[in-house]
Amino acid sequence: MEVKRHPKLLRKEDTALLIIDVQEKILPVINEHERVIENALKLIRGFKVMNLPVYYTEQYPKGLGPTTTQLTEELHGEAVQKMTFSCYDAGDLFKELVQKDVKQVVVCGIESHVCVQQTVLDLMANGFQVDLAADAVSSRRQFDYETALNRMRNNGAEVTTTESILFELLDVCGTDEFKAVSKLVK
């Protein structure tokens, strides 16, 4: 009998991180925004340790300001700016994911029930597996957050946590990457 891994488990060679609209001006009204930032930072740092691609977007930065400096201090490159709620029309983001042969997209950011939800649904409509870091997304209201998580899950998103995502990508313990990521999640 051949032993198999579940096909929905994250694989380094297929995975990218997408951080959606964690911007200065909206953060103060987001429920548990400190949790979102803390876990988004863990994801960014973990993806950097594993040398995996990281993308981030900004919704109407003229009005909502730039991505919080807590994240940009860890990020490289420019934010993909957008006017649509979904990232489907955020520059060439979706095309670049396809060109880089990304099949699995880890998503975090705000707001769960608007930009995150629409992006997750559009990513899945375009053939991507989406793993949503439930502890790295939020909305202004808890009810909107919970409803959005349920809708995304019901439509096929893998709803999980930051730590689960990072250890799933690591696959094995005892490596230098494992040691570095383990320090991030403590």
* 21 among known catalytic residues: yes
* 115 among known catalytic residues: yes
* 82 among known catalytic residues: yes
E-strand stretches of 4-138: 15-20, 54-59, 80-82, 104-110, 129-138
Q: Which helix (H) or strand (E) holds 96?
A: helix 93-99
Check 21, 122, 131, 135 and give the catalytic one.
21
Check 42, 82, 108, 131 and give the catalytic one.
82
What are 132's strand-pairing partners? 107, 159
CA distances from 100 to 13, 14, 93, 140 (A): 10, 9, 11, 34
Check 87, 108, 115, 131 and give the catalytic one.
115
- Kindly list the catalytic residues: 21, 82, 115
